[in-house]
């Protein structure tokens, strides 16, 4: 099983390539959605790493996969500017999953 990266910048992609992780750089909603759908349909990809900005481009599809699919696991990673707020993201996922605001 493989990792796949969906990033909004080339720097993150270059770093992940050094670790042997392929990926796509996206700047528009259609690009992000296409890359995510390709990764989700590829049986060899188990984990999709996405920067926060890339997730913002296709948030609805990310939620669909996180809440309804067994594979792939989507993991938000900070971008090169370190702007990800993982605590806020986790609270939002839990809140939507169980219907209770935390």
Q: What is the pLDDT of residues 24-58, one digit of tens each?
A: 999 999 999 999 999 999 999 999 999 989 999 99
86, pLDDT greater than 60 = no
60, pLDDT greater than 70 = yes
Q: How confident is the model at residue 15 (pLDDT cuts 50, 70, 90)?
A: confident
CATH of the domain at 32: 3.40.50.10580
How far is it, in rounded angstroms, from Cα 49 to Cα 33?
Answer: 14
The number of domains in the chain is: 1
Q: How confident is the model at residue 93 (pLDDT cuts 50, 70, 90)?
A: low
Q: What is the mean pLDDT of the chain?
A: 86
Phi and psi dihedrals of 71, rounded to 5? Answer: -150, 140
Q: What's the pLDDT at 41?
A: 95
User: Does the global pTM surpass 0.85?
Assistant: no
> For the CA atoms of the chain, what is the radius of gyration?
13
The whole domain housing 67 covers: 2-98
Q: Is the peptide bond before 14 cis (omega within 30 degrees of 0)?
A: no
The dihedral through the CA atoms of 90, 92, 97, 101 has a sign that is: positive
Q: How confident is the model at residue 78 (pLDDT cuts 50, 70, 90)?
A: confident
């Amino acid at each position: 099983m493989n990792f796949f990266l969906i990033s909004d910048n080339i720097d993150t992609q270059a770093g992940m390539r050094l670790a042997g992780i392929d990926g796509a750089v996206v700047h528009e909603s259609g690009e992000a959605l296409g890359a995510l759908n390709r990764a989700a349909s590829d049986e060899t990809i188990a984990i999709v790493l996405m920067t926060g900005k890339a997730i913002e481009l296709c948030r609805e599809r990310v939620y669909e996969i996180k809440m309804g699919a067994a594979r792939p696991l989507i993991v938000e990673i900070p971008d090169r500017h370190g702007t990800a707020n993982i605590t806020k993201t986790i609270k939002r996922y839990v809140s939507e999953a169980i219907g209770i605001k935390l």
